């Protein structure tokens, strides 16, 4: 892709900040907007251009990437009076990398198409580590042509990049990802607590079990944080709760029962009630240790 195309980036959070930095380091001119300007200050200092509102960013960017909090934020960013679809130029490419509702991704795609704007839903997995290292898994929904055009952008942000199907398919894939993680997180916490109660060194136990059949990303990357008492967010508890609620709603629409997911949601909601909604998902061990 032409290196002089301007990227507009909306949402400079735990994930977005590192993703935007990687695009900036790759030489793309960067326009940025986020609710709290201070979060973007380092990017601005490094040459990114701050935009005072979404409308201004949308009208001056060739590619627009969004990674915000909740589906209602996505709706506001795309469909609001000052939103992307009311101000982006014809021919612009928009990529929503928020984990959101598949039905909303389809709505964005359809409305964008009417205006000659190309839309992809492309949620990611890999947490703060994957965002920082440019090793995210990127799950994409949309048309092949748009995917091919934007692949060089995705390759800066991640390594495992798959076009899963039509609009909404990226979001469905991410929900499958979250369903798999939900029950696994309970198991990781219980395994560490069990090791501790048995008088073992949990760090040594991890050496034995993380490369065998029990291995998982959470076991390798989040279990050490649990042991160290590091509950800083690579991914917020409140956002994981949001994802699980969306996944349960989507599963119910398809007539699927998800007992593991339901239990995980119940536990995480209790964790949030303990005041841990802004902690990382590894904080679940605090609840299970009680």
Q: What is 88-125 written as a DSSP string?
A: SPTT-EEEE-S---HHHHHHHHHHHHHTT-EEEE--EE
Q: Which two tokens stand for residue 1?
A: 């892709």
Question: Which residues are CB-contacts of 187 (< 8 A; sequence separation ≥ 6)?
Answer: 214
Contact 49, 31 (CB under 8 A): yes
> How far is residue 21's CA from residue 284's CA, in Å, rounded to a whole number?
30
**Alpha carbon distances (Å) from 53 to 10, 49, 58, 174, 281:** 10, 12, 9, 29, 31
> How far is residue 221's CA from residue 1's CA, in Å, rounded to a whole number?
33
Q: Which two tokens stand for residue 287?
A: 């609840």
Query: So which residues are the catalytic ones?
Result: 174
């Amino acid at each position: 892709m032409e290196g002089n195309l301007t990227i507009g980036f909306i949402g400079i959070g735990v994930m977005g900040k590192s993703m935007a930095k990687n695009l900036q380091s790759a030489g793309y001119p960067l326009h940025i907007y986020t609710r709290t300007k201070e979060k973007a200050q380092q990017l601005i200092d490094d040459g990114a251009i701050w935009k005072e509102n979404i409308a201004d960013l949308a009208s001056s960017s060739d590619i627009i990437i969004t990674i915000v909090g909740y589906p209602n934020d996505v709706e506001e960013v795309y469909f609001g009076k000052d939103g992307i679809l009311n101000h982006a130029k014809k021919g612009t490419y928009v990529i929503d990398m928020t984990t959101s509702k598949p039905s909303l991704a389809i709505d964005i795609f359809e409305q964008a198409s009417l205006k000659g704007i190309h839309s992809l839903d492309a949620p990611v997995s890999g947490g703060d580590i994957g965002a920082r290292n440019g090793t995210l898994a990127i799950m994409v929904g949309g048309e092949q042509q748009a995917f091919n055009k934007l692949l060089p952008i995705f390759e800066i942000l991640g390594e495992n990049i798959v076009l899963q199907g039509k609009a909404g398919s990226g979001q469905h894939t991410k929900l499958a990802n979250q369903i798999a993680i939900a029950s696994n997180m309970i198991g990781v916490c219980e395994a560490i607590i069990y090791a501790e109660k048995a008088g073992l060194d949990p760090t040594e136990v991890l050496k034995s079990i993380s490369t065998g059949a029990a291995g998982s990303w959470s076991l390798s990357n989040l279990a050490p944080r649990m042991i160290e008492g590091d509950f800083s967010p690579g991914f917020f508890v409140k956002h994981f709760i949001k994802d699980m609620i969306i996944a349960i709603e989507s599963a119910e629409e398809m007539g699927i029962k998800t007992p593991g997911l339901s239990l995980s949601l119940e536990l995480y909601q209790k964790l949030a009630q303990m005041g841990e909604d802004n902690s990382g998902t590894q904080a679940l061990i605090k609840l299970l240790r009680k």
